[in-house]
Structure 1
Amino acid sequence: MSTQLIKYLSAFHEAPEGIVQKYAAKWKPYNASKKQTLTVPGQTEKYLYFVLEGVQKSYFLHNGKEHVIAFAHGPSISGIPESFFLQRPSRYYLETVTDSNMVRIPFDLHYGFLQEHREIETLFRKILEIFLDGVIQRQHEIMALSMEERFRAFTSRSSRLLNLIPHKDIASYLRIDPTNFSKLMNSIKV
C-alpha cells in the first residue's frame, strides 16, 4: 500500500482512514520503462494510475505529428481519465516520457469500491472537480494568453519538468512552434 497515494487522496476529502487504506490496498505496483505506450486510441482504459516517480504524456496524432494534451508526474493521478471513468474507447495515447514507478487499480475494483463506499465516491467527485478546473484553466491559457504568457505560466508551476521532458513535447503542449519555444528558453530566465 502506498503512503503517498493515501496522503494524496486524503488531501481531497477526509474519508475514514480505514476506508482510504482499504481502497489504497487495491492499487498494485506497476513499473514502466521510458517511451512505453500504456494506452492507444480505440482501447478502453483499463487502469487508473497513481504516479510515484516519473512522467507520462497523453497525446494524439494528426497528419503524423504528435499533439501533446497533458503531462502527469508524481505525485498525481495518470491515465486517460474520460476513457477510464466512462469506459469508452480512448481517443489518445498514454506514453511514459521517463521510467515510471506507479501503482494502478483496474476499473472493476475501483468502481466496486465506489459503489460500496460513499466516502470514496465523494473523494473522486472532488478529484474530478479539481481536474475539470485544471482543464478549463488550460483552455483559457491556450485561447487567451500569448505564447510568452503560456510559457511563463508553465514554468511558474512546472519548471522542474523542463529538465525531464523533451522541449518539443513541452512546445506542443503549449501550442508554441519549437523554434519560438527555443527563443523563449534562451530569452526568459526560469
Structure 2
Amino acid sequence: MQQLRTAIEAVIPLPEDAWEDLSSCFHPLACKRKTVLTAAGDTERYVYYVKEGLQRAFALADGQKEATLMFSYPGSFSGIIDSFFLQQPSKYYLETLTQSAFLRISFNDIQRLMQQYPVIARWIHVGTMAAMAGVMERLIEIQTLGAEQKFRRLLTRSPHVLQMIPHKYLASYLGIDPATFSKLLGGIRL
C-alpha cells in the first residue's frame, strides 16, 4: 500500500482520512499471463494500480491487425480510462503480457470518493489531465516523426522497455513494421 500511496501523492498529497477511505477501496487481483482484463465491447469497471507484471492496451484494426496503444508496468496505473470514466463499452482490449498483480478500485467507489473528498476529485482530475497530455504528445510523435525518430524517442524516454516488452509489441506501439524495428535495433547505437 505504501507504493500506491507514493504514486498517488506524487500527484496530490492526501489528508489521512481521505487516504484511509481511498486505500480501503483498493483490492488485490492476481492474473496469469495473457489474461484479458477488459475486452472490446465491455465497459471498464476498474482502475488498476500495477504491483507486478506487464500489460498492454491494444485495438484490433481492419483485418484483425493489432495496434498496441500503451503499456503499463509496476508503479503505474492501468485500465481503459475512457470506458471507465464514461461507462461506455471499450473499443480496446487490456491484457496481461506476463503474470501480473494489481490493486484495483471500482468505478462506484471512485465516484463516491470523488463526491465525498474534493481532494480525491482533484487527484483524479490532475492525473487524467497528465495522462491526456501524454496521449497528445504520443499522437504528435506518431503523426509527425519518421520510424527512426520514433524509435530514438522511445529509447530516450524509456530505454528499459527493450528488455521488458517483446519487440513485436514495441513495433506495433511505434506504428512501424517489425522488420523496420529490427533494422533500427541493429543499426542504431544505444
Amino acid at match of 1:186: G
Distance (Å, rounded) in 2 between the aligned partners of 1:41 and 1:177: 24
Deviations 1:62-84 (A, max 9, x none): 21211111111121110000001
Q: Name 2:166's counterpart in structure 1.
A: 166
Q: Deviation of residue 14 (structure 1)?
A: 2.1
Q: Which residue of 2 aligns with 1:101?
A: 101
- C-alpha separation in 2, matches of 1:72 and 1:120: 22
| Residue pairs, 1:76-87, within 5 angstroms | 76-87=76-87
Equivalenced residues, count = 189
Q: CA offsets, 1:101-131, max 9 Å, x none?
A: 1100111111111111111000110001100
Distance in 2 (CA, whole Å) between partners of 1:148 and 1:160 is 18
**Equivalent residue number for residue 23 of structure 1:** 22
Deviation by residue 1:136-157 (Cα, 9 ceiling, x = unmatched): 0000110111111111111112
1:17 Cα offset (Å) = 3.1
Provide runs of 4+ in structure 1 moved above 2 Å: none
Match of 2:160, SS state, is: helix
- Residue 162 of structure 1: CA displacement? 1.2
d(CA) in 1 for partners of 2:66 and 2:150? Answer: 19
The residue aligned with 1:55 is 54
User: Which amino acid is the alignment partner of residue 29 of structure 2?
Assistant: Y
Asked if the contact 1:39/1:93 (under 8 Å) is kept, the reply is yes
Query: Please, what TM-score do these two structures have when normalized by structure 1?
Result: 0.96
Q: Percent identity?
A: 39
Shift of 1:96: 0.6
Select between 103-112 and 155-164 the one with higher mean Cα deviation.
Answer: 155-164
Provide structure 2 residue ranges, at least 5 long, that are not aligned to the other structure: none
Q: TM-score, normalised by structure 2?
A: 0.96
Q: Give the C-alpha shift of residue 40 in structure 1.
A: 0.5
